Amino acid sequence: MVRASQLLHPQREPAVPRPAATVLLLRDGPQGVEVLMTRRSATASFAPGAYVFPGGGIDAADAQAHGLAARRPTQDDQRLTQAIAAIRESFEELGVLLARRADGRPVSAEDIAGLDRKAPFAAQCAGRRLVLAADQVFLLAHWITDRDLPRRFDVPFLVARMPEGQRPVADEAEQFEPVWVRPADALQRHAAGNFFIIFPTIRTLERLQKFDTVDAVLAACASEKPLWTSCPRAGLLQGAEVRYMEHESPYGELALTSPDGQIVHHLDWRTDQPVALLKNVTRLTAPNPGVMTGPGTNTYIVGTPDSGYIVIDPGPLDPEHQERTWRATGGDVRFIVCTHSHADHSPGARPLQALCKGKPPILGLASLPTARPASEFTPDRALADGEVVKVEGGGASHSLQVMHTPGHAANHLCLVLLEDGLLFSGDHVLNGSTTVVDPPDGDMTAYLESLDALSAACARHGIEFILPAHGYVLGFAPLAIAHLKAHRLQREARIVAAMRERPTGTLEDWVELAYADVPPRMWPVAKRSLLAHVQRIEALQLAR
């Protein structure tokens, strides 16, 4: 866990989320699924003027109304309470009643007209012997309001089919202008600036637009588990607020730099100045963006003015980048560590060393004869597996433990910042793409075994964040590594299938089958990792 003393900003306690429930009322329209939305009052305390799905807070009466509701055998008490709250809110706000008579017949217009939308809901339903159709309300998603907002909600997004024959009528107090809209149309209107919707609504509509029918939506929700759960995080991009879900690439960086959710971190990629991630970790991205390097190679600077600095991956041979690195450290570089010898990582080591007064040693592993000529590298001293490289001062230590992780390159290593549970992954784990494993210096079996070693290190050291050589910081470190291994094994299964389908085929034959989901322009790069997989498959006789 990151030390509180190394966080860049004083932390504050986010507001406690209040339980709430929202329901998406759906119907099949001429061009696909349509959802009922209404515009919130311009004076509302939360999302004023936004188009939303009906819903609101859960109150004590909702939990006491279980006896009035039909429930599925798999619907637990919490889900039943949420469904009752959603049914109540859809009636109070829009006059839509998800209920049936005691004999199973649908509620009539007379039943609905006999209920007062401002009076206690459950008592009125009981008096008319109405059964709330909670068994027809299903869980779609689980949203928790962003940590930066003063009013927060813990809210399931539920779905239900619009009752036949009913017509929504807004209460004209909290909700206005009920409208049926296709998710894709709502998103287009929002993009055009005439249909304001907030982040969770946007993301929900994006997922909902993939379904062709209401039946398909309800079938997807049959497991009683949310299709996704999210508490978004916000940062700044080109001067504007932007929000991200957990699976999106900037999320981990925002979690590292601002755990409490304050909107303080800029996500713009800069090569002209360093970006502070913690008090003791700074990133300086080299100006070498490209297909293989993403936004550029990340040089990391670990330490403080009191302790001096360790520079990780000084980058390609670029005098301006090395000078910026030197200036960011005040020239007080104690060690230079290269995660591996590729041309975008290690060539800057000697020029940076020459700029520093104490001529800090260059550490790493020497390239092997299998490396390409442009990747030849000899450190001043080889790092042993498990060795710790440390700087200390000002009452704090910053200790990097070495892990030999061959696979992407034969001399690849990763580094664990022990005091803060951070993993500097070099090219072994990237954010936004998978690394290339290029034989003969790359080896797929070694790569997968190194992933297992990194997974074990996460458990051993409590690693939560991965700082890759390309891309933003990754959060949920153990999960990210597990997903990466699963992806590799899934790709391998597709390659095995391709090899069985075309047993006398070539790499060109197999790449078009195994990488059919990858743009053909990327197949020349993909063939490198394909070859590494083929060598592993043949060695283990997996294609038999």
Question: pLDDT tens digits for 227-273?
Answer: 999 999 999 999 999 999 999 999 999 999 999 999 999 999 999 99
HEC assignment per residue over 247-307: CCCCHHHHHHHCCCCCCCCECCCCCCCCEEEECCEEEEECCCCECCCECCCEEEEEEECCC
* Res 98: pLDDT: 97
Does residue 542 surpass a pLDDT of 90? Answer: no
* Res 47: pLDDT: 79
Contact indicator for 17, 145 with CB cutoff of 8 Å = yes
Mean local confidence (pLDDT), 328-356: 97
* Res 264: pLDDT: 97
* Res 44: pLDDT: 77
Does residue 345 surpass a pLDDT of 90? Answer: yes
* Res 202: pLDDT: 97
* Res 176: pLDDT: 86
Picking from 19-28, 36-45, 497-506, which range would have the lowest pLDDT averaged per residue?
A: 36-45
CA 232 to chain CA centroid, Å, is 9
Does residue 215 surpass a pLDDT of 80? Answer: yes
**H or E stretch covering 112:** helix 109-113
Picking from 17-31, 34-48, 429-443, 511-525, which range would have the lowest pLDDT averaged per residue?
A: 34-48
Does residue 203 surpass a pLDDT of 90? Answer: yes
Share of the chain above pLDDT 90, in %: 94
The CA-based diameter of the chain, rounded to the nearest angstrom, is: 88
From residue 313, how far is each of 339, 366, 518 by CA, in Å? Answer: 6, 14, 29
d(CA 304, CA 307): 5
Does residue 146 surpass a pLDDT of 90? Answer: yes
Structural domains of the chain, ranges and CATH numbers in brackets: 18-228 (3.90.79.10), 232-268 (no CATH), 270-477 (3.60.15.10), 489-540 (no CATH)
Label residues 379-393 b or e (16+ Cβ within 10 Å = b): beeebeeeeebbbee
User: In which band, very low, low, confident or very high, does the pLDDT at 413 lie, cut at 50, 70 and 90?
Assistant: very high
Average pLDDT of the chain? 96
* Res 540: pLDDT: 93
Label residues 406-435 b or e (16+ Cβ within 10 Å = b): bbbbbbbbbbbbbbbbbbbbbbbbbbeeeb
Task: Count other Cβ atoms within 10 Å, centred on residue 514.
Answer: 26
* Res 188: pLDDT: 96
Task: Count other Cβ atoms within 10 Å, centred on residue 237.
Answer: 15
d(CA 401, CA 422): 10
| 8-state DSSP, 101 | E
At 112, which amino acid appears?
Answer: I
Does residue 293 surpass a pLDDT of 90? Answer: yes
pLDDT tens per residue, range 101-115: 999 999 999 999 999
157 versus 48: the higher-pLDDT residue is 157
From residue 110, how far is each of 87, 114, 166, 489 by CA, in Å? Answer: 18, 6, 11, 60
Alpha helices in 387-520 (DSSP H): 444-461, 477-501, 507-514
Mean local confidence (pLDDT), 517-532: 94
Does residue 543 surpass a pLDDT of 80? Answer: no
Contact indicator for 60, 195 with CB cutoff of 8 Å = no
* Res 45: pLDDT: 72
Picking from 294-298, 458-462, 521-525, which range would have the lowest pLDDT averaged per residue?
A: 521-525
Per-residue tokens: 434: 């998978």
Contact indicator for 273, 324 with CB cutoff of 8 Å = yes
* Res 425: pLDDT: 98
d(CA 314, CA 500): 44
Contact indicator for 415, 340 with CB cutoff of 8 Å = no
